[in-house]
Structure 1
Amino acid sequence: MNFCFAVLMILLLLTGCRAGEVAPFMIGQAPAATSQRVTPRPDLTAGDGVEALAGPPPKGSTPSAPDATVRSITAGDGVEASAGSPPKGSTPSAPDATVRSITATPPVQATPTSTSGVVSGKVCYPSSETPPLTIYLQNKATQEITPLNIERGEESYSVSLANGSYIAYARTVGMGLGGAYTCAGAEDPCPFQIKPGQTLEIDLCGWYPAPGLIPAPAHQPEDVVLVRLLQNMYVRSGPHLSDPELELFGADTTFQATGRTADHGWILVEHPELKQPGWLHAPLVQVIGDLNRVPIVEDSADAKTVTQQFVPAIWRSEHNQGMVLFKGEIRDQAGQPVNGFSILLDNGTWSVLSHPTGASHHYPDVGDGRWDVVIDNETDAAGWWTMTVVRYECPDFERGFNAQCKEFTPLSETKLIKVVHPDENIIEANWTCLQDCDQGLYLKAYRKPVAPVRDNWLLYIEDRALKSSPVSPVFDRPEMRRLYDGLPETEDGLRAYLAKNRPILSPNGQYLLINAPEGVTWLAELVTGELREVSRPAVVATWGPDSRQVAYLKKDTLYILDLLSDETRPVWRQDGLVEPAVEWLDQIVVKTAKSSWQISPDNDEAKEIEPVAALLPADAVELIQQKLPPGSAWALSHDRRKVAYNLQVGGPLRNAVYLFDIETKRQTLIGPINGYRVPEIRWSAADDLLFIGATNPKFPSGGAIFTMKPEANVLPDILLESDTAYLVDVFPEPE
């Protein structure tokens, strides 16, 4: 009866899936890949609150020390259950079984004698390499167990045994996955006879039986439902992964089911070594019998969740020698990455959450929509796992991320996956978000700030959030992170708005006046991070020379706000102002296209004056108005001696930046900017560097920010390249 079963892949449930039951999710074997060391983000580290499984061996696990004993456990109703070492279906005649330990390193061919025989054979693990495991050869009469340690990569064994009838099975180191010498049509180990002077070939090839429902044997009463573990697994005090653990049991332990949750997600079980009934996570176990015969005793928290917000997309597996890596991405139905959701992984002994998709300041290098979990010890990760998309809900995420957080809301069906070392050690699981894709822990992923440019304070937009370099704490405020979300995704959406509503820095560099598209004017304190509302609706405003006062127009009335006293007073009124602008040097000037007024901030006296033209050198005006195409980007240097400007050469995505010297009227080609449009140019505080804001034609609201030295024949340096980056302004760095 020697034979080797084919590798067992994920099996379909034999009796079909009832409502709430979990079917295995099939993944295809990826093409052979070169073994490589993967070094992604270390989610599973002690610093994240994740520790390797430690402590006493699980209930029912096989003792590894010599002279240990193994007890048989009976589940009741005449159906025998194993405590782990005695395999399924074995019936030891004594309560204690002697264990003697043998290590085969390397395997040596044993020789039969007149009082003993030899058993040898293959270890057919379903992968290109056999992991570390232990073979157990159990004498059915004496219950003596002979463990044989198999090192990584060994594919055969040989050992001398006393005469008698035996069964043979194996357990992987770590999760205790089971393999056995089995008979046709059965999962339980098949007995074989050792005779004096003979060598018997016994192959251990039955691996990875699938979780789910299996028919009850004929002798099992109809009202009895048993639950069998396929790997080491905790029994919990309640039907949720956040409930405390009662005991850790080994693979092949069998329990009697006494209750279940309405969604079939958790099963209440009893066992002689449990002091109280406990709960098992149903997707990871085998159920022997009809689970519908077991009464509903409690609703699982998981049953009340939205299970169709996320559905699986493309899943696949790959070979990797050194570790187990779970990874993937979440996208919406339009293909856009979705940030802020975690993947819950559970194998019965470990329950771990991935860092929410996308980057945070804890893990700033994660791509949008991406997630991963790394487990360095592949023997602890082999076996069956469940995956569920969840919303991370542990408090104070800003202070730290806890990979073993127990506060979460499931948002998808639970899917089953298996890890086989080393051929299926990389599991890629992608998901599609169907609804409420903006309801994660955060909508916008963290972005690394732009590296500071000495003596300059850069104001820019990324992901439609206002930011600065050097960083100001005020831009971490929610109001700033979503400041420009309401602007349309069009060529002129962001650019057109900023042309009329560009943030204004105070003369002392400490404050910023910001208009929000939804109709609010904010005053941001850049040092302290405080944010205060100046007006609702938004207003046209400017700073006083001392940075203590703000002048603004609201409904044809000019007001002055004193920041120290927090008092606001009306100064002047003029009906019918159309698109006015406000400036404040010594006097306040209100300008429209046809008229201008000068108002004294001290005594509120006002008079109409001649329209004030832009104070530009005449040659600069001629260049800008007569030689540059409409809409071209240009900037006058702070010393008013040079104009930097952009020209399209040969197409909208082929640009050249030029320098015009107002005194010499000399024009110099600085260098090219190709592949982008160029809507913004700014000078540095010392006029020794140009900042170039470029937009990507595919993402017209952003693209990149470059720097260029204002001299002939130079190439741009990338300061920030992002599909959502947009240059707002450059100021002298505040002192």
Structure 2
Amino acid sequence: MKTLRCLTLAVMFAFMFGGCAPTTPQFDSRPPTATHTPLNTTLPGASPTLFSPATPPLAHAVPNTTLLYSRDCGLYALPSLAALDKPEMRAVYQGLANCNDFGAFLVGYAPILSPDHKQLFITGPYESWLANLETGALRKFFSAKTAPSWSPASDALAYVADETLYRLGVAQGAKPEPLFQHANLIPLFARWSPDGRWIAAASTTENNANGEPQITIWAIPATGGDARALGTIPVPATEWVPQDMQWAPDSQAIGTSFGWFLSLDGTKQLVTELATIPWWTPAQARKLIGNQVDPKWDFSHDGKRLAWLEPKDGSFQIVTIDASTRAQELIGTLPAPYALMVRWSADDRFLIIDAGGVIWKMAAVPGSAAEPVLKDALLVNVIPRPNAP
């Protein structure tokens, strides 16, 4: 599956992003620093479509939902967002040269929406940006790609750079606050707890007796203080994404896609040892659909249904499963030979599917037909539509 996904992305990347790679590498390997550089936020009045690609009529859009997608190295939105209708966003992914590089920006480095739905953090290969969805303002935020998480209050970001965990307010002029430093701290993991009290981080350590890689998971007070080592666990020797580590809704435990469940009280268990696997754990989806590890599944926002794409006879079936009863429903068939991901709409009424260059929507009820929404585009993320009724 991983090979197929990579080949699919490689074909689409070559077709759609062939001119994106620079002739000379321009990556700044220094740790990210806050720049807070304001950008021009005024759209040209005489030519309002200057920075917007051709898109289908809004009749093809998804109710209450905004699709973030990439085309020709740029990041776009359907319906359009003023903050993304800027020249800086037309080349935000410039420089990505292969499938694995771009795939990271569809999963681990995808744009992340603030909990209050007012700001969008966007990561490119060399720079990161903060978009204000209410005012349309866009400003450069970091000097390198970063994998942060939002505070529940939407007023700060947590991130790791140079083996240090930082907290940084999003207000103009805010300065990074170092919270925790440890050798081999992993830049991908800086996960803010839902109650705002903790930030989870992880560091690599020596292999265990079986030769397996290991990480130690830490819980650090968000306002500073002594870190708690929650446990050391074995992990696969594969690429990781921030979503591999997830807080419980009550902020008392962390679930991982590596098969472990760690509590703030120091308890460490294999997920399979739990009486009931919580729906929010990354491992729950894999258990429900037979250990599938590709990003071809997604939980509904209420956590009650899981949707995934099942290859069958040269096309894909869209299936949902009730997370409690495990009852399955066949939603419909996607007329495409391959697919990259599925996502729920903001109100859980529709499923959005990326078929490697064509983005489709399908009502999340049995017997639905797939309807194309965008062509020559790759789905990057799905967010609630700002000011949606």
The equivalent of 2:223 in structure 1 is 602
Matched, 1:673 2:363: no
Residue number in structure 2 paired with 1:455: 64
Q: Which residue of 2 aligns with 1:664?
A: 325
1:512 aligns with 2:120: yes
Q: 4+ residue stretches of structure 1 with deviation over 6 A?
A: none
CA contact (8 A) 1:597 1:607 kept: yes
Q: How does 1:462-501 map to 2 (within 5 A)?
A: 462-488=71-97, 491-501=99-109
For 2:370, the equivalent position in structure 1 comes to: 716
Inter-partner Cα distance in structure 2 for 1:446 and 1:733: 19
Question: Aligned partners of 1:493 and 1:605: how far apart in 2?
Answer: 36
Aligned to 1:479, the other structure's residue is in SS state helix
Within 5 Å, give how 1:173-184 maps onto structure 2. Answer: none
Structure-1 residue corresponding to 2:310:
647
- Quick one: which of 622, 625, 638 aligns to 2:287? 622
Q: Structure 1 residue 485: deviation in Å? A: 2.6
Max Rg structure = 1
Q: What RMSD over aligned residues (CA atoms) do the two structures have, in Å?
A: 2.8
Q: CA deviation at 1:672?
A: 1.3
Output aligned runs, 1:517-528, within 5 Å: 517=125, 519-528=126-135
- Measure the CA separation in 1 of the matches of 2:45 and 2:119: 27
Letter of the structure 2 residue corresponding to residue 639 of structure 1: D
**What TM-score results when the alignment is normalised by the length of structure 1?**
0.36
1:216-295 correspondence runs (5 A): none
> How big is the shift at 1:680?
1.3
The one-letter code of the counterpart of 1:574 is: H
Q: Residue 10 of structure 2 aligns with which residue?
A: none
Shift of 1:679: 1.0
Change (3 A) 1:491 1:549: closer
Alpha-carbon distance, 1:399 to partner: 4.5
Query: Which residue identity is paired with 2:369?
Result: L
Would you say 1:572 and 2:226 are equivalent positions?
Answer: no
Q: Distance in 2 between matches of 1:656 and 1:590?
A: 37
**Aligned residue type for 1:459:** L
SS at match of 2:108: helix
Change (3 A) 1:682 1:445: closer
The residue that corresponds to 1:58 in the other structure is none
Q: Is the 8 A contact 1:551 1:560 kept in 2?
A: yes
Higher RCO (CA 8 Å, separation ≥ 6 residues):
2
DSSP 3-state at the match of 2:136: coil
Instruction: Confirm or deny: 8 A CA contact 2:149 2:159 kept in the other structure.
Output: yes
Aligned residue for 1:622, secondary structure, equals helix
Query: Which aligned pairs between 1:406-445 and structure 2 lie closer than 5 A?
Result: none
d(CA) in 2 for partners of 1:542, 1:445: 29
Residue by residue over 1:102-123, the C-alpha shift from the partner in whole angstroms, topping out at 9 and shown as x without a partner, is: xxxxxxxxxxxxxxxxxxxxxx
Pair 1:461–1:449, CA change in 2 (3 A):
farther
What CA distance in whole angstroms lies between the structure 2 residues aligned with 1:600 and 1:618?
A: 26
Name the residue aligned to 1:613: 255
CA contact (8 A) 1:508 1:734 kept: no
Cα distance between partner residues in 2 of 1:547 and 1:619:
28
SS at match of 1:731: strand
Residue in 2 that maps onto 1:541: 148
Counterpart of 1:730 in structure 2: which amino acid? V
Deviation, 1:537, is: 2.3
Residues 163, 186 of structure 2: 8 Å contact kept: no
Q: Is the 8 A contact 1:632 1:647 kept in 2?
A: no
Q: CA deviation at 1:589?
A: 0.9
SS in structure 2 at match of 1:499: coil
Q: Is the 8 A contact 1:450 1:719 kept in 2?
A: no
**In the TM superposition, what are the counterparts of 1:363-382 in structure 2 within 5 Å?**
none
- Percent identical pairs in the alignment equals 30
In the TM superposition, residue 665 of structure 1 has moved relative to its aligned partner by 1.7
Please name the residue that 2:353 is paired with: 692
Stretches of structure 1 lacking an aligned partner (at least 5 in a row): 1-334, 337-396, 402-441, 696-702
1:728 aligns with 2:339: no
When residues 450 and 637 of structure 1 are mapped into structure 2, their CA distance, relative to the original with a 3 A threshold, is farther
**Per the alignment, in what secondary structure is the counterpart of residue 507 of structure 1?**
coil
The separation in 1 between residues aligned to 2:117 and 2:57, in whole angstroms, is 19
Cα separation, partners in 2 of 1:446 and 1:499, compared to 1, 3 Å:
closer
The C-alpha deviation readout for 1:146-171, integer Å capped at 9, x for no partner, is xxxxxxxxxxxxxxxxxxxxxxxxxx
Closer/same/farther in 2, CA of residues 729 and 595 from structure 1, 3 Å limit:
same
Other structure's SS at 2:154 match = coil
Q: Which residue identity is paired with 2:305?
A: K
Q: Residues of 2 paired with 1:693 and 1:616: CA distance?
A: 24
Please say if residues 285 and 297 of structure 2, whose CA atoms lie closer than 8 Å, have aligned partners that are also in contact: no
Q: How far 1:398 sits from its partner (Å)?
A: 4.5
Contact 1:540 1:554 in 2 (8 A): no
Counting only pairs closer than 5 Å after superposition, residues 350-365 of structure 1 correspond to structure 2 as none
Q: Give a deviation string over 1:194-238, Cα, whole Å, max 9, x none.
A: xxxxxxxxxxxxxxxxxxxxxxxxxxxxxxxxxxxxxxxxxxxxx
- Whether the 8 Å CA contact 1:644–1:681 is kept in 2: the answer is yes
Give the secondary-structure state (helix, strand or coil) at the position aligned to 2:107: helix
Q: Relative to 1, partners in 2 of residues 1:708 and 1:449: Cα closer, same or farther, differing over 3 Å?
A: closer
Contact conserved, 2:317 with 2:331, CA < 8 A, in 1? yes
Change (3 A) 1:609 1:632: closer
- Report the CA distance shift for 1:551/1:565 in structure 2 as closer, same or farther (over 3 A): same
